[in-house]
Amino acid sequence: MEKKHVFRIAGGARTSTPAILIQLKFDNYTGYGEASMPPLYGESFQTAINFLKKIDLSTFKNPFNTEDILNYIDAISPNNPAIKAAIDIALHDLIGQLLKIPLHSYFGLKNKELYTSKTIGIDTAKIIEERVIEAKKFKFLKVKLGGKNDKEIVDTIKKATNQPLFIDANQGWNSKEEALEKTFWLKELGAVFIEQPLPKTSYDDLTWLAAHSPLPIIGDEGIQRFSDVKNASNFYHGINIKLMKSTGLREAYKMAQTAKMMNLKVMLGCMSETSCAIGAAAQLGALADWVDLDGNLGIKNDPFTAHQVNQGVIHVNKNPGIGLANVDWKEISTYKIPNHNL
């Protein structure tokens, strides 16, 4: 996926993100899935292909046995969440095609318009000002901090707009004291919450910060899968659920429902993704307090068309499955999973 702009966070910068697109076929129906693999998370084309080579679906006769199929996929390896997510998304898309219903209906959720934030990465003041102007129709801006120029970034943004800010420090602040000071400062400037202000393993500092912060603290890098949710309230006031971390829709749904029962806020987030994965995540939008699903808006070579985005609002369509309206990809290389009925 080629990005429209250089993407910078506290941990580095990139101009592209590797992705693998999946087709899962049953009878005359096809489900589509996607694995987005930012290098930070350790997955690659090679790890994904190696994982796919281990799959044997010959014992499964149809796609409706989702629990057994996805438990089998998950048990192949403790890692590889993105390629697992691709299979999960394709499987659910296929089920939606067969049932002729959108996945929000399959999960028993209402369809609603989603106000997604628009991400502003770490950059120079001039470029940040340009990005803010481009995002003027969005209700929220998501601002990447955690570098050396936090004040310059925020001051530049506030000179150009009064839009509320989602703040994401990407583990970039060095101490609980610094994090608390910046949280009070950002609250006065219209911040809604602070995402992952400290390293995910700084448990004592995160516990202290959550107890003292005037803004909700949201776990991202510290919340990967369902097993992380049970202790999340010790360190955070909410969690950021991403399909590429959670292994897909099935687990993301469980995480969101559990978080809500624990009185934790739910944020739906994304990586750099095509409209395939974004379309899938949007199906769970009714469970979210906040939505950050703009990954497809930042790439130049999206082979899919799904839900329309107008003035920062995602209008979730009623198409079957994940909501794809058009597919136009050119296969560069293909790998067929052997020994399967799906």
pLDDT digits (tens, 9 = 90+) for 168-183: 999 999 999 999 999 9
Measured distance CA(138)–CA(165) in Å, rounded: 11
What's the topology of domain 114-326? TIM Barrel (3.20.20)
Which strand (E) or helix (H) includes residue 126? Answer: helix 125-134
Domain with CATH 3.20.20.120 in the chain: 114-326
Residue ranges, the chain, pLDDT below 70: 10-11, 330-342
pLDDT of residue 340: 53
Phi, psi dihedrals of residue 65, rounded to the nearest 5°: -85, 60
Q: What is this structure's pTM?
A: 0.94
pLDDT of residue 339: 54
DSSP H helices in the chain: 45-52, 66-75, 81-99, 103-106, 125-134, 150-160, 176-188, 203-212, 243-246, 249-261, 275-282
In 84-114, which positions are buried (b, 16+ CB within 10 angstroms) versus exposed (e)? bbbbbbbbbbbbbbbeeebbbbbbebebeeb
pLDDT of residue 151: 95
Domain with CATH 3.30.390.10 in the chain: 2-101
Residue written as tokens 């929220």?
140
pLDDT of residue 189: 96
What's the topology of domain 2-101? Enolase-like; domain 1 (3.30.390)
Could you tell me the two tokens for 182? Answer: 């910046």
pLDDT of residue 7: 78
Could you tell me the two tokens for 37? Answer: 């693999």
Residue written as tokens 């707009």?
161
* Paired strand residues for 34: 21
